[in-house]
Amino acid sequence: MGREITMKNRPIVGEYKVPDVLSDKKGPFRLYSDSDKFPIWPYDPTDAWIRINPRHYSWFTAIRSRSPVCDKNVSLAAMNNLIVLCENYFESLKYEKNHDKNFVFEIIALISGLPVKLKTNSPHLYNFWHLNWYLGDFMEAEKRLGSSLITIRAAFGIKDENGDLLPIGAYFCPENRQIVFINTDYYGQCKSWALGAAGVGLSDFRIHSVHGACVEIDGVGILIIAPTGTGKSTYTNQLATYGFINSDDWVYIKEENGEFFAYPSERNIYVRSNAVQDDPLKGHSREAVMANPVMRRQFEIFEKSPAENVPIVNGMRIYERIANSRAMINPALLTPLAFKTPIKLVVLLRRDSVSPYKEELNVDDAIKVLSKGEYMIGPGVTDDQSKWNTLACESWYNPYLLAPNNQFETERFRALAEKGKARYVIFNTAGIYADKQLSDGSPDLEDLIKATTKEMLKYVSLFTKKNY
């Protein structure tokens, strides 16, 4: 991060710069200058002061998907009660027998320049939060924003008066933009709700929050919008071999003089690890991983990184065994980074057995697809396997829009095409569309990925006049 790369005389800077999104006279919030000095916490919270190598960190969360209760419309009174419940619990930890082991952490992320605070007693959430974000100065954010500071309170291990754990739940109040998590330390939902809450605040400044990835190739930004499990990270990584990664999971889009630019939200990125097919229980092997250049590269990066829900068997991580296992990686290890990317192509993904392989969409059809948000349920959405492979809908392919504004979403996606001249295309990433089959008759997914990547690059060629 921080190196400068010149391409067609246009500098691309990998170092994050805080956008000036707030209107007060003090200007943008300052970045915390030395975030790498925050500690890496070990698996056992009782040994919390021991620094360990990130490759030895693999945390197992209470649940491995979204909370079974997700209430995004909590009343102000109910949220205030939840806040009091959390604050009393955090205060009570000081008086427990091993109170020196029961820490409550508070840390500020600057999400596209907007401060969001995490307050939690989960060392894992604290770990991944400080690795994930560009960090802000805690005292400055508290002083300038006071009670209006967006805060996530994540209380883990909280019980009722009978000593039973309270039901797992996630709660958001649109009135004060506060979030409470009860008895979940799954980082995926924590960071996604942080992005969603920041998106509510950033929309006040007409900055558009999109659940998607962005890659830049020869000055052309490809925005990939897709539901979980359809290949967003896979195609981001494939396209990035031809250019630069801007964002892996969430993009902030800002209009500047009629052009639309994508800005990244995260310092490091939280990615699925099961692209590395190394589980002998599924007929795969470490030897096959090392023989495949793409998987070997991913494996080597994962081995250097802290992980979530990645089991360790005989001293080795098995990246494929759990459906929603993750790693926190530095994207600069994959490719140089782009900070400000002009969006020219919007790629939508879906995965089903009935839709055509590829469709070019006019802006009205694209908005219909996005606003309906039909997708196939899979791992990461729920642990309930009975719901996998059934259809559901999430508007704008974004389950983390905490206060959806359909008028704003429609206007921004329309403007991308009508003002920004971006093109829309949708691909079906189901394996039945692969040209080749394996010996057992199953589709060759590697062939499908290569073929679909080439199709995406053809659209890039329309802007660059180059062949890839």
Site of tokens 């954010």 = 141
Does the structure show a pLDDT above 80 at 384? no
Provide mean pLDDT across the span 234-251.
89
Structure tokens given for 109: 């992320």
Measured between alpha carbons, how far is residue 223 from residues 121, 251, 253, 347, 349 in Å?
Answer: 36, 8, 10, 6, 11
In the chain, % of residues over pLDDT 90: 54
Structure tokens given for 442: 């199953």
pTM of the shown model: 0.82
User: Cα–Cα distance between 316 and 50 in angstroms, integer?
Assistant: 21
- Read off the pLDDT band of 45 (50, 70, 90): very low
User: Cα–Cα distance between 161 and 138 in angstroms, integer?
Assistant: 34
Provide mean pLDDT across the span 45-60.
62
What is the DSSP secondary-structure string of 78-113?
HHHHHHHHHHHHHHHGGGSTTGGG---EEEEEEETT
Amino acid at 349: L
Q: Of 419, 400, 422, nearest to 152 (Cα)?
A: 400
- Read off the pLDDT band of 422 (50, 70, 90): very high
Q: Of 426, 356, 367, nearest to 395 (Cα)?
A: 367
At residue 34, the pLDDT reads: 52
At residue 116, the pLDDT reads: 96
At residue 385, the pLDDT reads: 73
Q: Of 135, 131, 129, nearest to 113 (Cα)?
A: 135
**Average pLDDT value over all residues in the chain:** 85
Q: Each residue of 157-194: pLDDT tens digit?
A: 999 999 999 999 999 999 999 999 999 999 999 999 99
Structure tokens given for 432: 């039945």
Does the structure show a pLDDT above 70 at 310? yes
- Read off the pLDDT band of 7 (50, 70, 90): very low
Q: Identify the weakest region by mean pLDDT among 38-47, 89-98, 288-297.
A: 38-47
- Read off the pLDDT band of 43 (50, 70, 90): very low
What is the rounded (10 degree) CA torsion for 323, 327, 329, 335? Answer: -20
Q: Which residue has the higher pLDDT, 379 or 7?
A: 379
Does the structure show a pLDDT above 50 at 255? yes
| Phi/psi at 232 (5° precision) | -60, -50
Q: Each residue of 444-465: pLDDT tens digit?
A: 777 888 889 999 999 999 999 9
- Read off the pLDDT band of 117 (50, 70, 90): very high
- Please name each of the domains of the chain with its CATH number: 28-205 (3.40.449), 208-268+334-463 (3.90.228.20), 271-329 (no CATH)
Q: Which of 16-20, 307-311, 330-334, 384-388 has the highest mean pLDDT?
A: 307-311
List residues bridging with 127 in a β-sheet: none
CA atoms within 13 A on the CB side of 235: 32
Burial of residue 440 (CB within 10 Å: 0-12, 13-18, 19+) is exposed
Amino acid at 386: S
At residue 435, the pLDDT reads: 60
- Read off the pLDDT band of 197 (50, 70, 90): very high
User: Cα–Cα distance between 429 and 376 in angstroms, integer?
Assistant: 12
User: Cα–Cα distance between 402 and 266 in angstroms, integer?
Assistant: 19
- Read off the pLDDT band of 380 (50, 70, 90): low
Provide mean pLDDT across the span 89-97.
84
Does the structure show a pLDDT above 80 at 95? no
User: Cα–Cα distance between 228 and 121 in angstroms, integer?
Assistant: 29
User: Cα–Cα distance between 197 and 6 in angstroms, integer?
Assistant: 34
User: Cα–Cα distance between 67 and 25 in angstroms, integer?
Assistant: 40
List residues bridging with 326 in a β-sheet: 272, 308
Cβ neighbors of 267 (< 8 A, separation 6 or more) are 1, 16, 35, 131, 132, 133, 134
Provide mean pLDDT across the span 99-123.
86
- Read off the pLDDT band of 351 (50, 70, 90): confident
Does the structure show a pLDDT above 90 at 69? yes
